[in-house]
């Protein structure tokens, strides 16, 4: 249901209309009903669009449009029945432009004569649709005046009766939305979502899944690069060094084997923006699509992955709805680059972060947002971590910034193994996808669990003078620098789950390193971005820590590669030497 001003002016309408025939998003036809009151709040329709009709977006898909006089009751009924028949027969969109008027001002309390005095003089004198239709039926001898009076009297009596019945109820019971689909899930508060969830998986079954995603059909020909890439999955499994892509593939494979469904959508997700996923491979000659994840077992869940249209708002909205309709599907939307999600900001503000608080609606949508400073400029570096963290409160979602394939694997499995659903925001890497140190063992997959905090396994507690807390890819930059400097007095602790923050675990680690002379928060983002301000708000002790960050900037990153490297190194230098304060 649209308003005339909205269908003409809101870009989301065009995005959704473009989905109408796409495999990943089509619904086999939508009936669009436009309540056309020829005005948008106070704006006349001549100022609200350039097109002749508010429904001209329908021309994109050559959909029929029925322009109906809303005063003609029988025409309205006929149009709706026709639209329904058309949709069911041809499985295509159809639009009904219901041309009427708004009897009173916006929200029925506004004064419309301020801005449309002539129009509202005409409306004040105009008969309402009920009276117009009644007069027509009386003129045709179908009903009489008593019939209309009785209808009105009966309707008012029914309303009064219902009102009296409602007053006898002490408590209103609201039927949960999509009750049947959500009957096995419960709402969870902060204490419950911090309880660890068992995500282990049998090693022998894991080996079989690794074999499936590492084996191409022998009767089909693929380009040599694809053959080598798929073969490398088996090699890394046998060598016990699994990379980021294998972390994903094994998470999906194990969940499918356990009966969960997987849906992944977004721009270029089939291959992956950075060519790491290759969930869909193409036969060289025919371009037939092969999805190895659909060969896991006879009783597995469904695996669907779709390259989306070049849209964020519409696609995130669709996937949010999909996750709501199917809580047993791991529904993932991946941004091409993390900051591109700002095109879907309305979905983030009004639904993803707030729907459970506003409407008691759970949702398990996962957002994968590539994030990291690698000299790619202001629009391809930051996923705007600070914006998501600002939206966090109580128990409304999870925010994670993983540094190992195994931790991503367990994080995705945790998302489905829980008996509740929360949105999950994951800041994912770019350069780490092929980093030689970003690997995990098979045992870490089979017998591990999601680690909200990862301690420094190399640190000698007695020697540590500087305790560094860091999140994400920046850890590996600091690790390399520590090795170069030979600094055995520095411990690097990774915060893998940013929200809810594992406060007790952090406090325990601080107590463990009891010889520490200073605690440092290190981030590659500018001081006014990243997780720093969030940390100050949610962990009071952090206010005494030394913060090593870029200087505050309005742009997330420098456009110059040289300047970006210099700023990055300045932060690293300050982490290890407090005299090199880059904020001055």
493 near 468, Cβ under 8 Å?
Answer: yes
Helical residues (DSSP H) of 202-361, grouped into ranges: 203-212, 224-238, 244-257, 313-325, 345-347, 355-359
Give the integer Cα–Cα distance in Å for 329 and 576.
Answer: 45
- Report the percent of the chain where pLDDT is more than 70: 100
Quote the pLDDT of residue 136.
95
Quote the pLDDT of residue 48.
92
Quote the pLDDT of residue 177.
85
479 near 233, Cβ under 8 Å?
Answer: no
Has residue 233 got a pLDDT over 90? Answer: yes
pLDDT digits (tens, 9 = 90+) for 316-337: 999 999 999 999 999 999 999 9
Q: Global pTM?
A: 0.95
pLDDT digits (tens, 9 = 90+) for 392-426: 999 999 999 999 999 999 999 999 999 999 999 99
Mean pLDDT of the chain: 96
Give the integer Cα–Cα distance in Å for 80 and 74.
Answer: 10
Residue 68, classed as helix, strand or coil, is strand
Give the integer Cα–Cα distance in Å for 221 and 216.
Answer: 9
47 near 16, Cβ under 8 Å?
Answer: no
Quote the pLDDT of residue 306.
98
* Cα–Cα distances in angstroms (integers) from residue 307 to residues 20, 331, 513, in the given order: 15, 14, 47
Strand order in the sheet with 490-495: 453-454, 490-495, 466-470, 518-526, 546-550
Task: Give phi and psi for 279, each to the nearest 5.
Answer: -75, -25
Task: Give phi and psi for 35, each to the nearest 5.
Answer: -85, 95
Has residue 584 got a pLDDT over 90? Answer: no
Read off the pLDDT of each residue in 380-384 and give the average, rounded to a whole number.
94
- CA 175-181-185 angle, to 5 degrees, is 85
Residue 562, classed as helix, strand or coil, is helix
355 near 423, Cβ under 8 Å?
Answer: no
In this prediction, residue 156 has a pLDDT band, given cuts at 50, 70 and 90, of very high
Q: Please count the other Cβ atoms lying within 10 Å of the Cβ belonging to residue 107.
A: 7
Indicate the fold that domain 2-137 takes in CATH: Rossmann fold (3.40.50)
Of 493, 548, 543, 557, give the one whose Cα is nearest residue 521: 548
Give the integer Cα–Cα distance in Å for 223 and 283.
Answer: 8
User: Residue 433's Cα: distance from chain center in Å?
Assistant: 21
User: Residue 186's Cα: distance from chain center in Å?
Assistant: 21
Strand order in the sheet with 398-400: 303-307, 261-266, 329-334, 366-370, 424-428, 398-400, 497-499
- 275-296 b/e (C-beta count within 10 Å ≥ 16 → b): ebbbbbbbbeeeeeebebbebb
Quote the pLDDT of residue 106.
83
CATH no. for 190-447:
3.40.50.12470
- 345-376 b/e (C-beta count within 10 Å ≥ 16 → b): eebbeebbbbbbeeeebbbbbbbbbbbbbbbb
Of 354, 471, 364, 371, give the one whose Cα is nearest residue 414: 364
Q: Is 453-576 the same fold as 2-137?
A: yes
41: left (phi over 0), alpha (psi -120 to 50) or beta: left
Indicate the fold that domain 453-576 takes in CATH: Rossmann fold (3.40.50)
pLDDT digits (tens, 9 = 90+) for 32-84: 999 999 999 999 999 999 999 999 999 999 999 999 999 999 999 999 999 99
Domain ranges in the chain are 2-137, 190-447, 453-576
In this prediction, residue 533 has a pLDDT band, given cuts at 50, 70 and 90, of very high
Residue 401, classed as helix, strand or coil, is coil
Task: Give phi and psi for 238, each to the nearest 5.
Answer: -65, -30
Burial class (CB in 10 A: 0-12, 13-18, 19+), 305: buried
- Report the percent of the chain where pLDDT is more than 90: 96
In this prediction, residue 247 has a pLDDT band, given cuts at 50, 70 and 90, of very high
Helical residues (DSSP H) of 273-430, grouped into ranges: 313-325, 345-347, 355-359, 385-391, 405-417
Give the integer Cα–Cα distance in Å for 337 and 377.
Answer: 12
Read off the pLDDT of each residue in 439-449 and give the average, rounded to a whole number.
98
Q: Which helix (H) or strand (E) holds 97?
A: strand 94-99
Quote the pLDDT of residue 134.
95
User: Residue 435's Cα: distance from chain center in Å?
Assistant: 27
């Amino acid at each position: 249901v649209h308003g005339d001003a909205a269908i003409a002016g809101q870009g989301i309408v065009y995005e959704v209309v473009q989905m109408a025939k796409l495999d990943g998003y089509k619904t086999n036809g939508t009936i669009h009903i436009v309540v056309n009151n020829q005005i948008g709040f106070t704006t006349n329709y001549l100022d609200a669009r350039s097109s002749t009709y508010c429904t001209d977006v329908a021309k994109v898909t050559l959909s029929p449009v029925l322009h109906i006089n809303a005063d003609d009751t029988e025409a309205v009924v006929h149009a709706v029945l026709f639209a329904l028949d058309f949709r069911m027969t041809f499985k295509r969109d159809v639009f009904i432009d219901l041309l009427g008027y708004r009897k009173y001002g916006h929200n029925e309390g506004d004064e419309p004569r301020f801005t449309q005095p002539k129009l509202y003089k005409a409306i004040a004198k105009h008969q309402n649709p009920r009276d117009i239709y009644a007069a027509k039926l009386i003129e045709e001898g179908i009903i009489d005046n008593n019939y209309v009076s009785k209808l009105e009297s009966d309707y008012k009596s029914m309303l009064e009766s219902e009102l009296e019945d409602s007053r006898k109820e002490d408590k209103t019971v609201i039927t949960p939305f999509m009750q049947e689909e959500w009957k096995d899930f419960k709402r969870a508060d902060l204490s419950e979502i911090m309880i660890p969830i068992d995500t282990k998986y049998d090693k022998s079954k894991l080996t079989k899944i690794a074999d499936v995603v590492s084996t191409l059909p022998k009767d089909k020909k693929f380009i040599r690069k694809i053959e080598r890439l798929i073969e490398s999955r088996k090699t890394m499994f046998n060598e016990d060094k699994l990379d980021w892509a294998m972390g994903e593939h094994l998470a999906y494979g194990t969940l499918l084997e356990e009966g969960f469904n997987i849906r992944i959508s977004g721009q270029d997700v089939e291959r992956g923006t950075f060519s790491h996923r290759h969930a869909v491979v193409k036969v060289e000659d025919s371009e037939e699509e092969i999805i190895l994840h659909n060969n896991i077992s006879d009783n597995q869940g469904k695996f669907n992955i779709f390259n989306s249209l070049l849209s964020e708002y519409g696609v995130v909205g669709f996937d949010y709805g999909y996750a709501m309709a199917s809580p047993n599907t791991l529904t993932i939307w991946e941004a091409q680059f993390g900051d591109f999600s700002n095109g879907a900001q309305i979905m983030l503000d009004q639904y993803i972060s707030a729907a459970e608080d506003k409407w008691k609606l759970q949702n398990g949508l996962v957002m994968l947002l590539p994030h990291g400073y690698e000299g790619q400029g202001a629009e391809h570096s930051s996923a705007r971590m600070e914006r998501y963290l600002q939206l966090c409160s109580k128990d409304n979602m999870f925010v994670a910034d993983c540094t190992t394939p195994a931790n991503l694997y367990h994080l995705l499995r945790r998302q489905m193994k829980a008996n509740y659903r929360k949105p999950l925001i994951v800041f994912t890497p770019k350069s780490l996808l092929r980093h030689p140190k970003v690997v995990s063992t098979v045992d870490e997959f089979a017998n591990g669990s999601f680690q909200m905090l990862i301690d420094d396994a190399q640190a000698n507690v007695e020697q540590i003078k500087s305790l560094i807390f860091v999140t994400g890819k920046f850890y590996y930059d600091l690790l390399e620098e520590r090795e170069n400097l030979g600094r055995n007095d520095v411990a690097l602790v990774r915060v893998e789950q940013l929200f809810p923050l594992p406060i007790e675990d952090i406090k325990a680690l601080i107590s463990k390193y009891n010889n520490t002379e200073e605690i440092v928060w290190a981030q590659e983002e500018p001081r006014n971005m990243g997780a720093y301000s969030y940390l100050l708000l949610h962990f009071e002790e952090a206010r005494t820590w030394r913060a090593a960050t870029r200087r505050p900037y309005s742009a997330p990153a420098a456009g110059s590669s040289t300047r970006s490297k210099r700023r990055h190194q300045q932060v690293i230098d300050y982490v290890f030497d407090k005299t090199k304060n880059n904020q001055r």
